[in-house]
Structure 1
Amino acid sequence: MDQIIQKRNRGTARSTRRAQRQKPSHQASPYIKRRVPVYDFADEEVLQLVEHNADSLLENVGVEFRQYPDALALFRRAGAMVTDEVVRFPRGMCREIIQASAPAEYTQHARNPERSVRIGGDHCVLAPAYGPPFVSDLERGRRYATLADFENFTRLTYMTPALHHAGGTLCEPVDVPVSQRHLDMIYSHLRWSDKPFMGSVTEPSRAQDTIDMANIVFGEEFVQHNCVVTSLINANSPMTFDATMLGAARVYAENGQATMISPFILAGAMSPVTVVGTCTQVLAEALAGLAFTQLVRPGSPAIFGTFSSAISMQSGAPTFGTPEPAMVLYICAALARRLKVPFRSGGSLSASKVADAQAAYESANTLQSAMLAGVHFMLHTAGWLEGGLVMSYEKFILDADQAAMINVFLSGIDTSENGQAMAAIHEVGPGNHFLGCAHTQANFESALYRSTTADNNSFEQWQAEGSQDASQRANRIWKKMLADYQAPPIDEGIDEALREYVAQKKAFISDSNA
């Protein structure tokens, strides 16, 4: 009997060690500390040309600030020329306003201080997809997203070490009225995750609800002096900001919270078909939006963002992963560095309807461009399908694997004594192998990235395990993650206060889908 117990214990120990070895080798970090140089795609002449042309647009064409008199008044007092709702800026005015106060980098604090992120400088933060009204998985296919789906993706993001930020509208919970769903989404971020998150921007009062709920968690005094929320503020390209986005941006900036000013571009429809023309328009729109945030509250965190893709000149459909948007990304990243503000772009963008080869190569093209360009905040890193209409459970897992590789690559090269491995080379010598040497034995559990989704086994073993493709393996992974999920701890009093706030607000908000 003792021998049976000993054998069982030995078998259990082997299984435990094997399970540990099969875990991803990358250790979790709250954000990436970049240790590799960026790729400078465009030379000084190109960058100066774009800056000159953008200033000309701001001076001669102007930007429309639609149905938002407060913005017109702010710019008029700052010295801009206002005609109806169009603001024209003296050459260099926006850049001077931004560089006088906008921080080059800042910390967004998380509910769990160990998960706070640094945005800007030599840092990179990865966040999941934002905004899809649909979700999909292998069993149920494509369908409208629900609050249960939103909570699932909140949990999956929380459990994914390579995603440093919880993101925002992970999917639109269409089973909850538009007028109320922001309350459930913000509560989900604050309760089922402890990573930093993005706030509601669909109406200024909803932005204020986000601030109020953040005050409950962090305390009003802390919120007024520290960034705890990031917001996505899109330009209504070309050359327009609408009242909804401006109102939300004002709420966040007034409260010292971060605004991500992002022209949303589909070249050929919302900007010129050329790379330099698109970059010129993107820069002009970003300068105007960033300047607005600094006039509202100098020193409030602000990010130069861009979502730039193109349309097919044959069908008019959006395209992704093509060369021209990558060029725009590289150039805009360099322009943001010259402006000395953080930059947002990139993601696992694809027009594919399923997680197939098209989804893989289109996503890889955009992820790699963003990684090499020096993006500080990468939105849409995981889950994106069908041009952003779908948040896919399986693609989320596949993209998260790619995100983990980005974490490893950007962390740079180990040049320590262990990294040089000279002792190992001396030990093995010519004509032998490294499998049994002391250096390999000491490092094999942490050396070399281990994919969580790729199958590198023999054909026979793959066949014996069910002949599963990548999506089927990802399907198994996300289900196990949700089954294993444990909510992060939260103070019971804070949780109760959040629930009461949501209930009270819903009691006074009509059920509306506007």
Structure 2
Amino acid sequence: MEFRMSSPQDKPDKTQRMRPRRSQLTVLSPSDIERINDAALHLLEQVGFSDVTPSGAEAMTRAGALVGADGRIRFPRRMVLASIDKAARGFTLFGQDSSHDLPLGTARVHYGTAGAAVQFVEAETGLYREARLQDLYDAARLAESLPHIHFFQRPMVARDIADPLAMDINTLYACLSGTTKHVGTSFAVREHVAPALDMVHMVAGGEAKFRARPFVSNSNAFVISPMQFAEQACGVLEACVAGGLPILLLATGQAGSTAPQSLAGAVAQTVAEVLAGLVYVNALKPGHPAIFGAWPFASDPRSGKMASGSAEQSLLAAACAEMAGFYDLPCGSGAGMTEARLPDIQSGYEKGMTEVMAGFAGLDLVYEAAGMHASLIGFCHESLILDNDLIGQCLRCLEGIEVTGETLSLDEIAAVCVDGPRHYLASDPVARDQRYRPALADRSGSQQRESSGWPSIVERATVEKNRLLTTFFPRHIPKTMDERIRARFGDLIQLPRAAMGL
């Protein structure tokens, strides 16, 4: 396996629905892609899935799947290809504010949050504690103010709420109240979807308006790796498809644990699992918006624990992006998932490596790209702010270099060298202004650092966090609507109005 720049001859035959590559690097050759595709189709046809629910079996057998005497449901190759053919492409994940709409299937890469961290990282003390609903709401409003965080999928579990329904409703409420960007969330059981839909319909101004611009999607772990349907998540999937929510089809096997140790095998199994979800969704509603969420995790060879900040994790995400490109499907996977417990040099290099590579690989959506620590156990507000800076750098890398007659600057070079001062310090201020300027990275000289006390980048992020959390309270949901929502859900809503600056 080698890195190389993609070229037109690298593309599989157009009959395979391969789009012009969005990726600017490849980790799989065309023959690698064909072999993984064939392996995934083989697994679906010959191995199949266990624990299919009666409703899922009914929908998928109607589309051509077969339930064997062993109880496993299998998918003939031709029906999988038919599902791929009818799958939704080129759709948009909407924000409450249209300026945050995310068109998928283009050259654009979108970075955002995700995860289910159960602990909150206090950067100032270095301590971990249980995550709270207030932490989630604060993360949402920080994300609203950070330009390179493009969407907000719930990154924390509110551990101060014990009741599952109250947790799901408050999670959605905190996210919708904190940001106008697209929100991703999950639900414990299908019965929680209906009241959640009531809330989003209220915010949207009615069911029809929400269905026209669904600004919430469902992150759905419908599969328990290896190749077993998750009963409760499948019920949620069916309810969310009926309710018009886009679905992130999430398969998260871990190489060496719940997926093969070899990276190729882990990718093949994960692709098969996501394709089964795609069959499921399109059996329920052909063309329903679904995201190819192939998300295998790497393992540390010494301990067997997750190694989500590793080079192998970068390779897995890139390979899955290429497979989604082969099927011409919108895709999302994880990057920025450091093992570091705190924002430090390990956090920086693991996040930077995985996130820039995910972008160059052509993912539509890069999840868990901001704020996460300790293999998705902890979430840190300072890191959310720092990672916004980092993602800005990644996005600048993805823009590449524009080469034109003007940007080659031949006349300028001649003027400076022959007639001018032999430097470019006073030339082309417009070009300098177009370069990315990180908000927190220290690019000052040593004398300026000494005079300013030399605060660390984490200390600067803490200052910015405190400024935002004491001054910025989103008001996109009017007070009257917030009162209606609280009246509708009563004691279920546990985020105090005072905590929202109301």
Give the alignment's TM-score, normalised by structure 2.
0.87
Out of 435, 454, 464, the residue aligned to residue 477 of structure 1 is 464
Structure 1 match to 2:167: 181
Q: Assess, with a 3 A threshold, how the Cα gap between structure 1 residues 472 and 129 changes in structure 2: closer, same or farther.
A: farther
1:130 aligns with 2:120: no
Structure 2 match to 1:192: 178
Whole-Å separation in 2 of the counterparts to 1:171 and 1:323: 25
User: Cα distance, 1:490 vs. partner?
Assistant: 2.8
Structure 1 match to 2:499: none
User: Cα distance, 1:37 vs. partner?
Assistant: 4.7
Structure 2 match to 1:365: 353
Secondary structure of 1:388's aligned partner: coil
Structure 2 residue ranges without an equivalent (≥5): 1-19, 495-502
Out of 140, 144, 161, the residue aligned to residue 147 of structure 2 is 161
Structure 2 match to 1:501: 488
Structure 2 match to 1:222: 209
Structure 2 match to 1:212: 198
Out of 235, 257, 277, the residue aligned to residue 269 of structure 1 is 257
Whole-Å separation in 2 of the counterparts to 1:56 and 1:255: 33
Amino acid at match of 1:371: G
Amino acid at match of 1:108: L
Amino acid at match of 2:424: F
User: Cα distance, 1:455 vs. partner?
Assistant: 1.4
User: Cα distance, 1:463 vs. partner?
Assistant: 2.9
Structure 1 match to 2:439: 452
Whole-Å separation in 2 of the counterparts to 1:291 and 1:257: 17
Out of 293, 302, 305, the residue aligned to residue 293 of structure 2 is 305
Structure 1 match to 2:340: 352
Q: Assess, with a 3 A threshold, how the Cα gap between structure 1 residues 270 and 82 changes in structure 2: closer, same or farther.
A: same
Amino acid at match of 2:422: N
Whole-Å separation in 2 of the counterparts to 1:482 and 1:425: 48
Structure 2 match to 1:38: 24
- Which 10-residue stretch deviates more, 258-267 or 303-312? 303-312
User: Cα distance, 1:260 vs. partner?
Assistant: 0.9
Out of 457, 469, 477, the residue aligned to residue 490 of structure 1 is 477
User: Cα distance, 1:143 vs. partner?
Assistant: 0.7
Q: Is the Cα–Cα contact under 8 Å of residues 346 and 369 in structure 1 kept in the other structure?
A: no
Q: Assess, with a 3 A threshold, how the Cα gap between structure 1 residues 411 and 210 changes in structure 2: closer, same or farther.
A: farther
**Could you report, residue by residue, the CA deviation over 1:80-137 in whole angstroms, capped at 9, with x for unpaired residues?**
111354211112322311322x222211222112222212232222112321011112
- Using the aligned pairs only, state the percent identity: 24
Structure 2 match to 1:433: 423
Whole-Å separation in 1 of the counterparts to 2:404 and 2:210: 41
Out of 39, 57, 71, the residue aligned to residue 56 of structure 2 is 71
Q: Assess, with a 3 A threshold, how the Cα gap between structure 1 residues 36 and 344 changes in structure 2: closer, same or farther.
A: closer
Structure 2 match to 1:54: 40
Out of 276, 280, 284, the residue aligned to residue 272 of structure 2 is 284
Whole-Å separation in 2 of the counterparts to 1:419 and 1:189: 43
Pairing of 1:458-469 with structure 2 (within 5 A): 458-469=445-456
Q: Assess, with a 3 A threshold, how the Cα gap between structure 1 residues 209 and 414 changes in structure 2: closer, same or farther.
A: farther
- Which 10-residue stretch deviates more, 338-347 or 121-130? 121-130
Secondary structure of 1:317's aligned partner: coil
- Which 10-residue stretch deviates more, 112-121 or 422-431? 422-431
1:257 aligns with 2:245: yes
User: Cα distance, 1:346 vs. partner?
Assistant: 2.9
Q: Is the Cα–Cα contact under 8 Å of residues 309 and 338 in structure 2 kept in the other structure?
A: yes
- Which 10-residue stretch deviates more, 186-195 or 288-297? 186-195
Amino acid at match of 2:250: S
**Could you report, residue by residue, the CA deviation over 1:149-207 in whole angstroms, capped at 9, with x for unpaired residues?**
1111011100000011122x221111122330222221122222111111332221223
User: Cα distance, 1:48 vs. partner?
Assistant: 0.9
1:106 aligns with 2:95: no
Q: Assess, with a 3 A threshold, how the Cα gap between structure 1 residues 424 and 485 changes in structure 2: closer, same or farther.
A: farther
User: Cα distance, 1:78 vs. partner?
Assistant: 1.8
Structure 1 match to 2:131: 145
User: Cα distance, 1:423 vs. partner?
Assistant: 5.3
Q: CA RMSD in A?
A: 2.3
Secondary structure of 2:296's aligned partner: strand
Structure 1 match to 2:311: 323
Whole-Å separation in 2 of the counterparts to 1:307 and 1:421: 44
Q: How many residue pairs are counted as aligned between the two chains?
A: 468
- Which 10-residue stretch deviates more, 55-64 or 319-328? 319-328
Whole-Å separation in 1 of the counterparts to 2:71 and 2:249: 19
Whole-Å separation in 1 of the counterparts to 2:67 and 2:23: 42
Amino acid at match of 1:484: T
User: Cα distance, 1:417 vs. partner?
Assistant: 6.9
Structure 1 residue ranges without an equivalent (≥5): 1-33, 508-514
Structure 2 match to 1:88: 74
Q: Assess, with a 3 A threshold, how the Cα gap between structure 1 residues 480 and 85 changes in structure 2: closer, same or farther.
A: farther
Structure 2 match to 1:27: none
Whole-Å separation in 2 of the counterparts to 1:470 and 1:124: 26
- Which 10-residue stretch deviates more, 261-270 or 104-113? 104-113
Whole-Å separation in 2 of the counterparts to 1:318 and 1:409: 28
User: Cα distance, 1:57 vs. partner?
Assistant: 0.9
Whole-Å separation in 1 of the counterparts to 2:329 and 2:296: 19
Secondary structure of 1:166's aligned partner: strand
Structure 1 match to 2:234: 246
Amino acid at match of 1:162: H
Q: Is the Cα–Cα contact under 8 Å of residues 271 and 294 in structure 2 kept in the other structure?
A: no
Q: Assess, with a 3 A threshold, how the Cα gap between structure 1 residues 368 and 300 changes in structure 2: closer, same or farther.
A: same
**Could you report, residue by residue, the CA deviation over 1:40-75 in whole angstroms, capped at 9, with x for unpaired residues?**
221111111111111111111111244x21001112
**Could you report, residue by residue, the CA deviation over 1:212-250 in whole angstroms, capped at 9, with x for unpaired residues?**
211112221123344322111122111112112111111
1:336 aligns with 2:324: yes
Structure 2 match to 1:29: none
Q: Is the Cα–Cα contact under 8 Å of residues 202 and 245 in structure 1 kept in the other structure?
A: yes
